[in-house]
Structure 1
């Protein structure tokens, strides 16, 4: 198979034949044939190549599938990293909340001990006053 434009020889994985005009297209030339506006419209329909002979739309080509799978894989890696960071932050927040709850319990215990201690001191002082009056 030879591309109609660049005359590069290739197999059925990198070259394809247009069903309408039977022109042989290589994926690189077919993708380069796109104008910017046409490219945007075609990508919305998941079509990213044009026949060099009749400008018919083609589904994603082998080369572009690889390109998009690499981009998709890269995006997945970034998403996984972001999720890992979020999980780490979630764990850190959970540990902070648990630590905060433990501190609140400790503060309540200390407050209760201080209250008990103050009560004991007040009772002792009032007993001493009562004892002084009776002397």
Structure 2
């Protein structure tokens, strides 16, 4: 199984706050909404992506997924957030993803993609991953 959660605030570059640039930014967000509605990577009924408004009025991409296919979907989602980071360099956010590897439970955990200033960085999660000893004991050899 593959699990993925994204919270990404979509903002223009701080240098693009001029009136004409902001109108282009708003058009870009409208275009992104249309692109998300027709993106062929979503599994019908299992994935949900939407762009909502935060309490400050910023646009925010929210995505949650728990699906069987993983490798092609993961690559496509990373490419999507990378393109958003490039197109909207003032954006910031985070993507948590995990592939459930039943045969090697101790090595699985969330991978984190941090988005800020037009760059996407991949990191290992040390807080939420479910297979750390503080949350769940590692499997004991010969038991169960």
Same fold (TM over 0.5): no
- TM-score by length of structure 2 reads 0.25
Q: Which has the larger radius of gyration?
A: 1
- Higher RCO (C-alpha 8 Å, min separation 6): 2
- TM-score by length of structure 1 reads 0.26
* Structure showing the higher strand proportion among its residues: 2
* Structure showing the higher helix proportion among its residues: 1
